Amino acid sequence: MKARGLSEDEVLAILHEKREQDLSYDRIFSSMCTPAHPIALKAHQLFQETNLGDPGLFPGAAELEQRAVKMIADLLGYPDAVGYLSTGGTESNIQAIRAARNAAGIRDGNVVVPRSAHFSFDKIGDLLRLEVRKADLDEELKVDLNSVERLIDEKTVALVGIAGTTEFGQVDPIDRLGDLALDRGLYLHVDAAFGGFVLPFMEKKWRWDFGVEAVSSISIDPHKMGMSTVPGGGLLFRDGRHLDMLAAFAPYLTDNRPTALTGTRSGGSAAATWAVMAHLGKEGFTRIVRRCMALTDQLVAGARAIGVEPVLEPIMNVVALKAEPSPEKVRSELMKRGWLVSITQDPRALRLILMPHATRDNIDLLLDDMAAVMRQL
Ligand code: 0PR
């Protein structure tokens, strides 16, 4: 830091220059984030200085958080669910497994997750000192229940299912995982960080939420398909006792038993999440999801027209394409042409996410470039 500060104009000039270096979302097909809805931005700005770590100082912001949690609880099929708005899927997953571990009272335990689980579960193993056991997937890239069953033992503190896998957008058989959890008396966490704001708005009805009796907790991210601001996560529990497992003691705060992982927390994000849900309603989200799925269909049809097949018929707005001979090469050539796409590990494929910022025109342009790149390789 300099002894004498820069003028506001100088600072702004640097900020604008740096912002210019950031990519704009219209050519990004590799991200699960998207520009927040304008009403979320307004709400965030209005509440930006509020801190939910000390909610008694900001009862307005705190009420918006609880109203948002209530709306999410309704959406997830259990109006009595309790929880809070976190910083994102990683925090929600950590906290869910921490609650399960504390409830089980086992310190050197294990958690059984699908091999397709997000890398946040590896952090969880490290942080919580749990062994993360990875169950195999079936040919549709859903978790294989026999494999899950084989990995369970008396030290298992939780099972995890995913509703919208990071790489393929696949949905695990949550109801059957639920049968297994009930049978073994186990905690079942569902990671719907991505799918939570997609599945409820699709025509096809899936059994994946609190409607499945054994589901203990759900991660659902407003900062992904929820159109809210970053950081915006959500964690809901069926049973308030699990949330209580996370309480710390802070006698000097207005809420002396905080349950979130972070101390200071953005009231702006909570206000944004409430605002966007209140404003869009189920109709608004249904329109957004329908459009993302139409774009998904357009991409898959266009890919097939140039001889590129998807790994799976897309379940949600995540597409993995068998871009032979090398998804890595196709990716790097597309990146040279300004398209941000990613790849999957197993099986290797080119991965694209059709977020609300995607457009028909850009998909056509991307497909033209993909065809050119593949001819050249
Ligand atoms: N669970 C699932 C199923 C996820 O897909 C993700 C993130 C998480 C948990 C963790 O969420 P947070 O990142 O909010 O902690 N999935 C994306 C991924 O890792 C996140 C992402 C977003 C990556 C934007 C890149 C990007 O540009 O692929």
CATH number of the structural domain spanning residue 181 = 3.40.640.10
Cβ–Cβ < 8 Å for 57, 255: no
Residue 324 has pLDDT above 90, yes or no: no
Residues 88 and 104 in one domain: yes
**5 in a structural domain:** no
Residues 22 and 162 in one domain: no
Exposure class string for 342-357: b at 16+ Cβ within 10 A, else e:
bbbeeebbbbbbbbbb
Closest ligand 1 atom to residue 223 Cα is 14
Residues 86 and 226 in one domain: yes
Exposure class string for 139-157: b at 16+ Cβ within 10 A, else e:
eebbbbbebbeebbeeebb
3-state secondary structure (DSSP) of residue 307 = coil
Residues 146 and 65 in one domain: yes
The preferred substitution site among 33, 113, 118 for testing ligand 1, maximizing ligand atoms within 8 Å of CB, is 118
**Res 28: pLDDT:** 98
**86 in a structural domain:** yes
Q: Which residues pair with 41 in a beta bridge?
A: none
> Which CATH number fits the domain that encloses residue 30?
3.90.1150.10
Of 278, 300, 317, the one marking the end of a domain is 278
Instruction: Work out the angle between the directed axes of helices 360-376 and 267-305 (0-180°, nearest 10).
Output: 50
**159 in a structural domain:** yes
Q: Is the peptide bond before 79 cis (omega within 30 degrees of 0)?
A: no
Of 278, 296, 317, the one marking the end of a domain is 278
Residues 116 and 158 in one domain: yes
Residues 24 and 138 in one domain: no
Q: How remote is the CA of residue 219 from the centroid of ligand 1, in Å? A: 12
Residues 183 and 315 in one domain: no
- List, in order, residues 6 or more apart from 365 with CB less than 8 Å away: none
Q: How remote is the CA of residue 89 from the centroid of ligand 1, in Å? A: 7
E strand spans, the chain: 82-84, 110-114, 131-135, 156-162, 187-192, 215-220, 235-237, 318-321, 342-344, 349-353
Residue 261 has pLDDT above 90, yes or no: yes
**Res 37: pLDDT:** 98
pLDDT bracket for residue 377 (50, 70, 90): confident
221 lines ligand 1 (CB under 6 A): yes
**56 in a structural domain:** yes
Q: What is the mean pLDDT of the chain?
A: 97
Provide the domain count of the chain. 2
Of 226, 251, 278, the one marking the end of a domain is 278
Residues 249 and 111 in one domain: yes
Boundaries of domain holding 314: 13-36+281-376
Residues 83 and 213 in one domain: yes
**8 in a structural domain:** no
Q: How remote is the CA of residue 253 from the centroid of ligand 1, in Å? A: 32
The predicted model scores a pTM of 0.98
What distance lies between CA 56 and its chain's CA centroid? 29
280 lines ligand 1 (CB under 6 A): no
Report which of 232, 228, 223 is spatially closest to residue 279, judged by C-alpha positions: 228
Tell me how many degrees the CA angle 315-320-326 measures, rounded to the nearest 5. 165
Residue 107 has pLDDT above 90, yes or no: no
